[in-house]
């Protein structure tokens, strides 16, 4: 008897083939299960589209008017302010909690760090969600005394949920529940009448 075979049971070739085939099939099966499982972590096309930038034609927004579009499931306000409404922004600065948008809880893009909080003074673009608890403020563009508004009201937005008020640049007034100004989404203009919301210019 040779030294190589002492105490070692013989394995026939058909059994070896069966073991290799079984192991290979097991590996293929594991891969077949793992691939769909791992790909389920990838965002769906619908989810990708929901986060994608949107291109908006603003040629139909009249002075004093507002258009609402959706980006990432949030309402985006596009308001075209009149020269009078722009002039009124300076009148309320003393009544605002953060007139220069210096608070960092909701950072304001550099191109909106100005009194009108916009790239083009005429157009105001903001996320229409109150910074307090997520309600959507309503339009209160008409100046003058009104319920839940001061007598010297010059126009802006009122959150009916808890009474926070914002001027026509989305800046919150003092002593209100909302801690910050309305958020300005990333955006840039591709022409005089088309704006891309959700991206900044490269």
> Could you read off the pLDDT of 51-94 as tens digits, one per residue?
789 999 999 999 999 999 999 999 999 999 999 999 999 999 99
- CATH architecture under which domain 51-197 falls: 3-layer Sandwich (2.102)
pLDDT tens for 143-158 read 999 988 988 899 999 9
* Residue 10 in this model has a pLDDT that exceeds 50: yes
pLDDT at 19: 66
Q: Token match 């010297």: residue? A: 152
Neighbour tally for 196: CB within 10 Å: 16
Phi, psi of 142 (to 5 degrees): -75, 125
* Residue 42 in this model has a pLDDT that exceeds 90: no
pLDDT at 1: 47
Model pTM score: 0.74
DSSP state of 48: H
30-52 average pLDDT score: 57
């Amino acid at each position: 008897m040779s030294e190589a075979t002492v105490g070692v049971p013989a394995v026939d070739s058909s059994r070896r083939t069966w073991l290799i085939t079984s192991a290979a099939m097991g590996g293929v099966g594991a891969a077949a299960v793992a691939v769909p499982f791992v790909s389920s972590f990838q965002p769906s096309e619908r989810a990708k589209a929901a986060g994608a930038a949107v291109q908006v034609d603003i040629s139909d927004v009249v002075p004093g008017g507002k258009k609402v579009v959706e980006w990432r499931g949030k309402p985006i306000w596009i308001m075209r302010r009149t020269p009078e409404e722009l002039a009124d922004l300076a009148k309320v600065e003393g009544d605002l909690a953060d007139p220069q948008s210096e608070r960092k809880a909701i950072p304001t893009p550099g191109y909106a760090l100005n009194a009108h909080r916009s790239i083009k003074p005429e157009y105001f673009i903001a996320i229409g969600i109150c910074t307090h608890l997520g309600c959507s403020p309503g339009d209160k563009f008409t100046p003058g005394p009104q319920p839940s508004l001061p007598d010297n009201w010059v126009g802006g937005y009122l959150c009916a949920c808890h009474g926070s008020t914002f001027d026509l640049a989305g800046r919150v007034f003092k002593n209100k529940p909302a801690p910050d100004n309305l958020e300005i989404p990333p955006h840039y203009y591709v022409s005089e009448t088309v704006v891309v919301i959700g991206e900044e210019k490269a």
